[in-house]
């Protein structure tokens, strides 16, 4: 099976975006490509034509690859419900709920079987699989139960790209530290580094790139500039980076940022609309005087009901 793996130094480093970009680049070059993410923890879900749920980012990656989203592209989807509890969806179907402490014992073997089964089916139909990791591959306390990162890369013997977010700062430490925490066989699979979300003049970054390549003996494949174009996010961490307003907007909308807000990618079209000013109101934030208030969905409705007030409006 031909495969490429994309892992990141942290959550929200740009794995989903880079995987989607690779899918589109490769399909333009004549490859029949499929995305894949072994295990995803997300509240943004997509329902396939067969009625199964997968992470919404994998659906977008499938569209980038000009193919139809299917459950094998994301065989395990965990949907957090609060209090360290998640729904467990395997091959699109809800199997139950689990506490984080019990997940490894109850679902690890079943999950790995679903991953192998999915990869076998995809390999029979596609030329190449673009695999996305989750979080960081160097979480040493979680590696024994990891179903998304280097276990899959090793299973496929996949050349792996490490993507890092420079906008948060500390990008060189993130890359070097991640590589240092990988096992030798895992580190040997890392064939390239991508620096994401760069602002400024690349000439000022070039000395750092030269140092990084010398220290790691791994080429920096590219530097992706900061982009205001929205890409569907997998967790609410991305909401902290969303634009707070649009200049010269005709309509002002406030979205209540509920605990465990679900399917907030539904609001992406509003954020992309120049005539709309969109902001998220967390507990304690002033509401102001918007034209409309949107109450989003949540996987923890009862907790949202009792959440603190925002301005003069209580959460529903």
Q: Please tell me the predicted confidence (pLDDT) of residue 227.
A: 82
Q: Please tell me the predicted confidence (pLDDT) of residue 310.
A: 42
Q: Please tell me the predicted confidence (pLDDT) of residue 287.
A: 77
The superfamily in CATH containing domain 3-225 is P-loop containing nucleotide triphosphate hydrolases (3.40.50.300)
The count of other CB atoms within 10 Å of the CB of residue 136 is 21
Q: Please tell me the predicted confidence (pLDDT) of residue 308.
A: 46
Start and end residues for every CATH 3.40.50.300 domain found in the chain? 3-225
- The SS3 of residue 62 is helix
Kindly state the tokens that stand for 20.
């989607």
Q: Please tell me the predicted confidence (pLDDT) of residue 245.
A: 59
Q: Please tell me the predicted confidence (pLDDT) of residue 39.
A: 95
CA gap 33, 27 in Å, rounded: 6
Residues facing residue 6 across a β-bridge: 132, 161
Residue 173 sits at φ, ψ, to 5 deg, of -65, -40
Report which of 112, 101, 114 is spatially closest to residue 147, judged by C-alpha positions.
112
CA gap 53, 71 in Å, rounded: 7
Q: Please tell me the predicted confidence (pLDDT) of residue 261.
A: 72
- The rounded average pLDDT for each run of 10 residues, N- to C-terminus, in the chain (316 residues) is 95 94 97 96 90 94 97 94 85 90 89 96 97 94 91 97 94 97 97 95 95 97 84 58 63 79 72 80 79 76 49 43
Q: Please tell me the predicted confidence (pLDDT) of residue 241.
A: 53
């Amino acid at each position: 099976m031909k495969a490429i793996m994309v892992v990141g130094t942290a959550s929200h480093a740009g794995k989903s975006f880079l995987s989607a970009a690779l899918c589109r680049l490769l399909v333009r070059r004549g490859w029949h490509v499929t995305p894949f993410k072994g295990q995803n923890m997300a509240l943004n879900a997509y329902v396939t034509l067969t009625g199964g749920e997968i992470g919404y980012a994998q659906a977008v990656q499938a569209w980038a690859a000009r193919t139809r989203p299917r459950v094998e592209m994301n065989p395990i989807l965990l949907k957090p419900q609060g209090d360290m509890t998640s729904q467990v969806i395997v091959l699109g179907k809800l199997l139950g709920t689990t506490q984080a402490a019990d997940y490894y014992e109850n679902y690890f073997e079943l999950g790995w079987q679903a991953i192998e089964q999915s990869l076998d089916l995809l390999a029979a139909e596609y030329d190449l699989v673009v695999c996305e990791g989750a979080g960081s591959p160097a979480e040493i306390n979680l590696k024994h139960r990891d179903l998304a990162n280097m276990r899959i890369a090793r299973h496929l013997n996949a050349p792996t790209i490490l993507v890092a977010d420079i906008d948060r700062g500390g990008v060189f430490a993130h890359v070097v530290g991640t590589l240092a925490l990988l096992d030798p066989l895992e580190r040997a699979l890392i064939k390239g580094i991508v620096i994401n979300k760069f602002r400024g003049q690349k000439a000022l970054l070039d000395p750092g790139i030269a140092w990084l390549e010398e220290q790691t003996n791994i080429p920096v494949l590219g530097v992706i500039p900061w982009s205001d174009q929205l890409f569907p996010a997998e967790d609410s961490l991305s909401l902290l980076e969303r634009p707070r307003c649009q200049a010269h907007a005709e309509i002002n909308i406030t979205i209540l940022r509920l605990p465990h807000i679900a399917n907030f990618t539904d609001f992406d079209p509003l954020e992309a609309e120049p005539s709309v000013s969109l902001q998220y109101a967390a507990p304690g934030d002033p509401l102001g005087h918007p034209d409309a208030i949107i109450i989003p969905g949540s996987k923890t409705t009862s907790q949202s009901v009792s959440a603190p007030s925002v301005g003069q409006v209580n959460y529903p």
